[in-house]
Amino acid sequence: MTSQRTRERLIQRLYEEGVSNAKVLEAIRRTPRHLFVDEALAHRAYEDTALPIGHNQTISQPFMVAHMSELLLEAGPLDKVLEIGTGSGYQTAILAQLVERVFSVERIKVLQDRAKERLVELNLRNVVFRWGDGCEGWPALAPYNGIIVTAVASEVPQALLDQLAPGGRMVIPVGPAGETQQLMLIVREEHGFSRRVLGAVRFVPLLNGPLA
C-alpha cells in the first residue's frame, strides 16, 4: 500500500479534485506520507483522508495539504513561511520543498520532536521549530511572507495578522470547533487586509498554551 502506484493514484485524484500546481503535486508525490503515521495505519497513508496521530490530533487530508499549499503560493514563490501547528510534520515537509524557509510552531512537544526526526530522515533542513503557543505565532522572527494555520481558530489571532508582511498571505480555517468552519485566505494590503472565504472545512481546534 506504500508503492509508487498507490502514490500515483493519490496524485491523480488530487489533480481531478482541482489541484493544478505542478510543484505542489510533485512535492506530494515525493513525500512518503506513510512515515508520518503510525505503522498500523501505514496501509491507509495514501488515501485522501485525515488520520489520527495521537493527542487528539490528525494528519490532514492530502487534498487539504495540497489545496492550502497551492493557495499560499498562488501569487508566486515565498521565501519565509510561518506554520502554526507542526503536528505530524507532513504539511511541514511539503512546505519545505516549496519555499525557502519554514518556521513551524507546535504546542505539543512530543509531536514536534517526532516531526523533527522525520524531517531529518528526509534531509529537509530548511525548517526551524519552536515549541510554544501557536496563537502567539513567532514574533521574534516576523514578518513572514506566508502564514499557514493547520487548526481552526474561532477568530483570526491578531498576533498572526501583525506578523504578516506587506503583500503576505495567510491561509487559516476559522469557525467553531466541532462544527463546519470556513477556510480563509487573508492578504495584507497597503491599507489593511483583504479576506476571501474559500469553502467549508473541518479542523481540530487551535488551543492556547504549550503542552509537554
Per the CB < 8 A criterion, the answer to whether 173 and 152 are in contact is: yes
The set of cell numbers assigned to 177 is: 470547533
The answer to whether 90 and 59 are in contact (CB under 8 A) is yes
> How are beta strands 144-149 and 101-106 bridged, if at all?
unpaired
Say if CB 188 and CB 143 are below 8 A apart: no
DSSP summary character for residue 41: G
- Is 60 catalytic? The answer is yes
**DSSP secondary structure letter of residue 191:** T
The secondary structure of residue 183, as a DSSP letter, is: E
Q: Which of 3, 20, 60, 88 is catalytic?
A: 60
Bond prior to 139 in cis (omega within 30° of 0): no
- The residues that are catalytic are 60
